[in-house]
Amino acid sequence: MSIDHTHHSHPPAAGPVRARGTGRRVRRAARLLPALALALTLAACGDDDGDATPETTAAETGGIVVQDAWVRATEGSEDPSMTGAFMVLENDGEDDVDLVGAASPVSGMVELHEMAMVDGDMVMQQVDGGITITAGRGKVLEPGGYHVMLMGLTDPLAPGDEVELTLEFSDGSEQTLTAPVKEFTEEEGHYHEPGTEEHGHDDSSEESMSDSGHGDS
Amino acid sequence: MTARVGRRALLGYAGSAAAGAAVAGTAGAVAWSQEQDHPADPATGASPAGRSHSPYGVHQPGVAAPTPQAVTLVALDLRSGVDRDALARLLRLWTGDIEALTQGRGAPGDTTPWLATAGADLTVTVGVGPGPVRAGLLPGLDGFGEIPPMRHDRLEERWSGGDLLVSVGGRDGTTVGHAVRRLTADAEPFARLRWRQHGSWNGLDGEQRPVTGRNLFGQVDGSRNPQPGTDLFDQTVWVRSGAWAGGTTLALRRIRMDLATWDELTRDEQERSTGRDLAAGAPLTGGVESDDVDLLARADGRFVVARDAHVRRSHPASNQGRRIFRKGANYSVEEWTDGGLRVESGLLFQSFQADLTDQFVRVQRTVDELDALNEWTTAIGSAAFAILPGFEKGSWLGEPLLT
């Protein structure tokens, strides 16, 4: 079971702004208390006032609009050979479109990943098929959720660098964009354990974080 | 109450998103004023219900937007080794932040995206100091350079200069502070903080109608500003040709105001020093606030507006027709000293003009030479920035200057 950051349980069609905000609430919830993440997803939707915003930006072109893309810096991270790319994918078209693949000149291998609940644990895994970008709702790719996983990085990525990304969609279209590299301040273990296909995000990883010298100030 | 404002803000966002592309350049200010419940002076008016400014246009929208209720001006110095390519990367980074933050979304990679608020009147205005221009990172601009020292200046290095400016304005200090934090964090690889100055402005009257606003002397401040959307405004503010077309220049002056000695004056003395009525802001020669002053009017054989009155000295007629477009932000800062808590108050005076030397410096020299207000006001900080032209969707801040 995966977390759909487009909050399909959200009753009225809120605008893209609300979709984003909710998505980020989900991320924090997932990080802090994985087992309760889904429950909090629903709770987080409870503050909607029910006053639906009409979709005034109706689709003229259809297609996918990529917004707010960024790539996490690897400089100084435990495993600088891999990182994640995050973004907001808007779909103003009539039909759902899947993000089915991605490529980047800085990366030897790119995969689409999701965080999912498996046996009560939040784990990272490769997405089966593609990431569905729901018509009218879009999809948020963010730390702790869906993301584009860049592996086999040739050089460390420092804040202020730029990374070229090509996204491939199920309708056969492609988009190439330049994403800024930004510092990611959350402690790395909370993002996911680098180098593992599946990683249980449980108490033991919390302990390993505190043992690794982050709190020496 | 909270829910009602939230809904309004959300609807405001949807509306502005649809209109955003059509609202470009100086038309933005005009279109904005037409959306208000109380159409009024778009240069100074604020609105009870906030809006989300489109980040796109021929000009950066913060210049012609109403004076923000809260503003933080941040100056940064480029780190050594930052070349044109690096500066371009920083400006692309900021472009993405501005696109998100002004629409109420967290900046990409935001650690606290919940602090980004739609309908917050948020504007981000970016400029470049004389240093990077002189170093050839950007093309030169006629009349742009450091502001020469004035006789009455008591400038402090810590409030002066800077390679880059980010001016963030908005409805409230929390939203503004969040945007400042993101923008400065993302600039960290490229530039280090030089100074930050925060001020506030009240552009609404008791019935929430837009008004000019007052400085801490109680003076209505900015009455005769050129109005956005007029030819006079365009001629005064915007660079019209060359690489910087669509940009402008900003002179920022941190002006300390001696409130204690000002308060010792009688009202008559206070009004004589500026040449305006304190209650309404109207010229002492009569009429209403928006009326021009009659510099030749006499009573009992003497000028009604004194020779050293601020309205006379700063008037275009005393400066060969030169004008500026000004905005203010009041500040009060606390500082613990050996002698106890000291409070300094003043005005963050922001003057926009196409040609810094020909307009601001010329007017400032006149005022420096003779102006009654010099007795109670002292510039303690001074900085000049060339404000980048605006950008359209798909482009980025400074692209025509750096590619």
DSSP of A136-183: TTBEEE-TTSSEEEEEEESSPPPTT-EEEEEEEETTS-EEEEEEEEE-
In a domain, A73, yes or no: yes
Q: What is the pLDDT of residue A64?
A: 94
Q: What is the pLDDT of residue B9?
A: 34
Q: What is the pLDDT of residue B288?
A: 97
Q: What distance in Å separates residue A21's CA from the closest CA in chain B?
A: 7
Mutate to test the interface with A, among B4, B112, B186, B395 (most CBs of A within 10 A): B186
Mutate to test the interface with B, among A182, A185, A187, A190 (most CBs of B within 10 A): A182
- Name, in order, each residue with C-beta under 8 angstroms of A83's C-beta and a sequence gap of 6 or more: A71, A72, A73, A74, A77, A149, A150, A153, A157
Any chain A CB within 8 A of the CB of B10? Answer: yes
Chain B residues near residue A186 by CB distance under 8 angstroms: 111
Q: What is the pLDDT of residue A62?
A: 52
- Look up residue B352 and give its two tokens: 């926009």
- Name, in order, each residue with C-beta under 8 angstroms of B315's C-beta and a sequence gap of 6 or more: B293, B295
- Look up residue B399 and give its two tokens: 């692209």
- Asked if A17 lies within 8 A of B104 by C-beta distance, the reply is yes
**Out of A24, A180, A186, whose CB is closest to B113?**
A24
Number of structural domains found in chain A: 1
Contact in structure between B340 and B333 (CB atoms under 8 Å): no
CA angle, A49 as apex, A48 and A54 as ends, to 5°? 90
- Look up residue A130 and give its two tokens: 């593609």
Q: What distance in Å separates residue B18's CA from the closest CA in chain A?
A: 6
Domain span holding position A158: 62-184
Helix H or strand E encompassing B74: strand B70-78
Q: Is B320 exposed, middle or buried (0-12, 13-18, 19+ CB in 10 A)?
A: exposed
Dihedral pair phi/psi, residue B239, rounded to 5°: -70, 130
Residue count of chain B, please give it: 403
- Name, in order, each residue with C-beta under 8 angstroms of A60's C-beta and a sequence gap of 6 or more: A92
- Asked if A49 lies within 8 A of B92 by C-beta distance, the reply is no
Any chain A CB within 8 A of the CB of B1? Answer: no
Q: What distance in Å separates residue B126's CA from the closest CA in chain A?
A: 18
In a domain, A168, yes or no: yes
Dihedral pair phi/psi, residue B402, rounded to 5°: -120, 5
In a domain, A16, yes or no: no
Contact in structure between B61 and B169 (CB atoms under 8 Å): no
- Look up residue A200 and give its two tokens: 């249980």
Q: What is the pLDDT of residue A188?
A: 56
pLDDT of chain B, 403 residues: tens digit per residue: 333 333 333 332 222 333 333 333 333 333 333 333 333 344 444 455 789 999 999 999 999 999 999 999 999 999 999 999 999 999 999 999 999 999 999 999 999 999 999 999 999 999 999 999 999 999 999 999 999 999 999 999 999 999 999 999 999 999 999 999 999 999 999 999 999 999 999 999 999 899 999 999 999 999 999 999 999 999 999 999 999 999 999 999 999 999 999 999 999 999 999 999 999 999 999 999 999 999 999 999 999 999 999 999 999 999 999 999 999 999 999 999 999 999 999 999 999 999 999 999 999 999 999 999 999 999 999 999 999 999 999 999 999 999 9
Q: What is the pLDDT of residue B48?
A: 56
Mutate to test the interface with A, among B56, B78, B85, B93 (most CBs of A within 10 A): B93
Any chain B CB within 8 A of the CB of A12? Answer: no
Question: How much is the ipTM here?
Answer: 0.83
Q: What is the pLDDT of residue B389?
A: 98
Q: What distance in Å separates residue B165's CA from the closest CA in chain A?
A: 18
What's the CATH code of the domain at A149?
A: 2.60.40.1890
DSSP of A30-72: HHH-GGGHHHHHHHHGGG--S-PPP--S--SS-SEEEEEEEEE
Any chain B CB within 8 A of the CB of A187? Answer: no
Q: What is the pLDDT of residue A54?
A: 36
Nearest C-alpha in B relative to A70: B108
Give domain limits for chain B: 1-403
CA B235 to centroid of chain Cα atoms: 17
- Asked if B3 lies within 8 A of A49 by C-beta distance, the reply is yes
Any chain A CB within 8 A of the CB of B5? Answer: no
Contact in structure between B169 and B65 (CB atoms under 8 Å): yes
**A residues 58-87 closer than 8 Å to B (CB):** 67-70, 72, 86-87
Q: What is the pLDDT of residue B235?
A: 98
- Asked if B106 lies within 8 A of A158 by C-beta distance, the reply is no
**A residues 105-144 closer than 8 Å to B (CB):** none
CA B219 to centroid of chain Cα atoms: 18
3-state secondary structure of A92: coil
As a whole number of Å, the CA-based R_g of chain A is 17
Q: What is the pLDDT of residue A187?
A: 60
Chain A residues near residue B14 by CB distance under 8 angstroms: 15, 53-54, 56-57
According to DSSP, the residues that pair with B342 across neighbouring strands are B335
Task: State how far the Cα of B218 lies from the Cα of B278, in Å rounded to an integer.
Answer: 7
- Asked if B109 lies within 8 A of A183 by C-beta distance, the reply is yes
Any chain A CB within 8 A of the CB of B186? Answer: yes
Contact in structure between B280 and B220 (CB atoms under 8 Å): yes
Nearest C-alpha in A relative to B20: A57
3-state secondary structure of B267: helix
Residues of chain A with pLDDT under 50: 1-61, 190-217
Task: State how far the Cα of A192 lies from the Cα of A205, in Å rounded to an integer.
Answer: 10
Neighbours of A77 (CB within 10 A): 17
Contact in structure between B123 and B166 (CB atoms under 8 Å): no
